[in-house]
Structure 1
Amino acid sequence: MRELIIAGNWKMHKGLDDSKKFSRELTGVLRSNDGAKVIPIIAPAYPFLAVLQREFENSPVKVAAQDVSVHDDGAFTGEVSASMLASLQLPYCIVGHSERRAYHAESNEIVREKAEKLMLQKIVPILCIGETLEQRDAGITAKVIKEQLTGCLHQINLYSGKELIIAYEPVWAIGTGRTASGAQAQEVHALIRKWLSVQYSEHLAESLCILYGGSVKPENIEELLNMPDIDGGLIGGAALKADAFVKMVEIAQKYDMEHNK
């Protein structure tokens, strides 16, 4: 049975004081999952990873990094290695986000290298894939998604399905206020799960969590969770507000208790 994941990607938002304030608002409410299989995750900026690890120590909230270097160590100014993240005992790290691909020219091969470095350190990559508006309008969404999966997971061994999380983020729905409908998102999630079943195994495909990212908010999270292949959200703007993030976690907890997805 797959867990539900509500992951907040703060991007380059929130300084130290705001990060601490947010974390205390969360820990004051999210003391336990009350039996629900829901994992709340927050991905703050690099300088505050250790701070939030301490803040969330006695809560169900997990901390993720937003990116990682392809290098292990050396003269790479500004880079942070997977082993450095592992020294903080971080369980998760985002790779391949569309903003990294667009603004830093990260290819599928670079994303694959990053995922591999993380997995060697026992950190679960949250692998982001998704098509642009032009690609969707051209009718090549499936082709793009399969190419990204093939490139990003080339020669990467997966066994249990717990070593990786995939986040489908249609680029046209990120930060635009536009959201794929539940049916649109489900179509791509089903395609991803089918690809995994062919390339790996049916068991792995059914065990691996696939998140949706793209203007997710309290108003649409339940519709998305109702789709059979959507296991939560990778959330940007709405995750910057503690009350909205808590609301989405609570909706997921209620959904899980009622449906045991």
Structure 2
Amino acid sequence: MSRPKFVAGNWKMYTTRAGAVDLAAAVAKGLPAGGKTRVAVCPPFPWLTAVADALKGTPVAVGAQNCHFEKEGAFTGETAPGMILDAGCQYVIIGHSERRHGFGETDGLLNKKTKAALAAGLSVIFCVGELLAEREASQTEKVLETQLTHGLADLSAAQLEKVVVAYEPVWAIGTGKVATTEQAQAAHAFIRQKIAGQFGEKAAAGLLIQYGGSVKPDNAAALLHQPDVDGALVGGASLKADTFLAIVAAGG
């Protein structure tokens, strides 16, 4: 099955309002006419509406970086999936390693968030990946299997059509290290195999699996042309339009 490429920028806790709008506009302006690669940007919460407004009528989608699992309620400081949708978003990142390991988010919690986001009408970028100690202990596949099995538990194959999986080896995020093309391909192929067992071959064949972890213009092409790598979840390199657009261009 021929799958489209999908490159998303995770702006994390960076940018000002004006800077976010300018960056979004520059990304949209710089996309090649008729480009086939899907593109999204994920700004900080306060800038979602401003960025969504700036990107109206362009091919660039907007995503949030996190969400709560309830529709509404007394959850001070949290943001419901429906609010994210109402702000102009199509996507939400769930389970980024900085949420898993910095904020202690569990597979069970991430499963609740995923279900809530899908129920609200959002598409989910669901992140999985192992720590350096886990890779060195040859536990990568065990970790990925656990995160996929529990994080995507009780979803249907139809719901999975609105899920993108992002493989992000935690040891490669913000470190300058990057998985080799062989390491990335092996992990992506394993993820697709596990999804096939969980949701069926057809669902697995259609699933987009992004690579995330120090993706830059100089390594993007080699990564994005691996058979099971369908795009990238880009961190630091997404904060400058020229570097982000170079990664998008590397997808073909």
Could you say whether these structures have the same fold, taking a TM-score greater than 0.5 normalized by the shorter chain as the test? Answer: yes
Aligned ranges 1:51-130 → 2 under 5 Å: 51-130=50-129
**Inter-partner Cα distance in structure 2 for 1:96 and 1:178:** 21
- Which secondary structure state, in structure 1, belongs to the residue aligned with residue 218 of structure 2? coil
Paired residues in the alignment total 251
Is the 8 Å Cα contact of residues 224 and 250 (structure 2) preserved in structure 1?
A: no
Is the 8 Å Cα contact of residues 31 and 59 (structure 1) preserved in structure 2?
A: no
**Inter-partner Cα distance in structure 1 for 2:69 and 2:118:** 12
**Inter-partner Cα distance in structure 2 for 1:177 and 1:31:** 28
Query: In the alignment, is residue 180 of structure 1 matched against residue 200 of structure 2?
Result: no
Change (3 A) 1:46 1:99: same
* Identity fraction in percent: 38
- Which secondary structure state, in structure 1, belongs to the residue aligned with residue 232 of structure 2? strand
- Which secondary structure state, in structure 2, belongs to the residue aligned with residue 193 of structure 1? helix
Q: Residue type matched to 1:77 in 2?
A: T
Is the 8 Å Cα contact of residues 169 and 212 (structure 1) preserved in structure 2?
A: yes
Q: Residue type matched to 1:163 in 2?
A: K
Is the 8 Å Cα contact of residues 211 and 233 (structure 1) preserved in structure 2?
A: yes
Q: TM-score, normalised by structure 2?
A: 0.96
Is the 8 Å Cα contact of residues 118 and 159 (structure 2) preserved in structure 1?
A: no
**Which position in structure 2 is the counterpart of 1:5?**
6
Query: In the alignment, is residue 17 of structure 1 matched against residue 11 of structure 2?
Result: no
- Per-residue CA deviation, residues 181-217 of structure 1 (Å, 9 max, x unaligned), is 1110100100000011111111110101000000001
**Inter-partner Cα distance in structure 1 for 2:160 and 2:127:** 16
**Inter-partner Cα distance in structure 2 for 1:117 and 1:68:** 9
Q: Which runs of no fewer than 5 residues in structure 1 stay unpaired?
A: 256-261
Is the 8 Å Cα contact of residues 69 and 117 (structure 2) preserved in structure 1?
A: no
- Which secondary structure state, in structure 2, belongs to the residue aligned with residue 167 of structure 1? strand
1:123 deviation in Å?
Answer: 0.6
Query: In the alignment, is residue 165 of structure 1 matched against residue 161 of structure 2?
Result: no
Q: TM-score, normalised by structure 1?
A: 0.93
Is the 8 Å Cα contact of residues 49 and 88 (structure 2) preserved in structure 1?
A: no
Is the 8 Å Cα contact of residues 177 and 215 (structure 1) preserved in structure 2?
A: yes
